[in-house]
């Protein structure tokens, strides 16, 4: 039973740290809304294990002027893939 974790608030709310406490190998993380600010923070992204794949939502990155600033660890995806991810995992855990 894998989970998709969505994080939708900026790093100052420390949602990533809370999420990492309960994340399992094979779970994936998707940064959306203000959560996309994580995509440019190498140091915070380095807290994430290589067992957890990381995505950032393209529309939210573009809106915030971050489209070309995201770290190489982050795969940029659109809404279509967002929907696919929610289907692929047995549940979605939303951190907000």
Partner 1 sequence: MSKKAFTFISRTAPYGSNRPKMSLDAALATAVFEQEVNYLFMDDGVYQLLANQNGEPIQAKTLGNALETLDLYGIDEVCVDYESLQKRNLEACDLAVPVTLLDATQMRALINRSDFVINL
Least distance from C-beta 4 to partner 1, angstroms? Answer: 11
8 binds partner 1, rule: CB under 8 A: no
Report CA torsion sign: 26, 27, 28, 29: negative
Strand partners, 7: 31, 95
Q: Of the ranges 21-29, 57-65, 66-74, 78-86, which one interacts with partner 1 (CB under 8 A)?
A: 21-29
Site string for partner 1, 31-70 (x = CB under 8 A): ----------------------------------------
Q: Which of 63, 78, 79, 91 binds partner 1 (CB under 8 A)?
A: 91
Q: Of the ranges 31-39, 52-60, 67-75, 85-93, which one interacts with partner 1 (CB under 8 A)?
A: 85-93
* Burial class of residue 83 in the structure, from the number of CB atoms within 10 Å of its CB (0-12 exposed, 13-18 middle, 19+ buried): exposed
74 binds partner 1, rule: CB under 8 A: no
* d(C-alpha 8, C-alpha 51), whole Å: 21
DSSP 55: E
């Amino acid at each position: 039973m894998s989970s998709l974790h969505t994080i939708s608030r900026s790093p100052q709310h420390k949602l990533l740290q809370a999420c990492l406490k309960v994340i399992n190998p094979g779970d994936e993380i998707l940064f959306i809304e203000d959560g996309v600010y994580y995509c440019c923070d190498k140091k915070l992204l380095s807290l994430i294990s290589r067992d957890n794949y990381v995505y950032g939502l393209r529309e939210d990155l573009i809106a915030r002027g971050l489209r070309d600033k995201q770290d190489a660890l982050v795969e940029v995806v659109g809404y279509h893939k967002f929907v696919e991810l929610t289907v692929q995992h047995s549940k979605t855990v939303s951190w907000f």
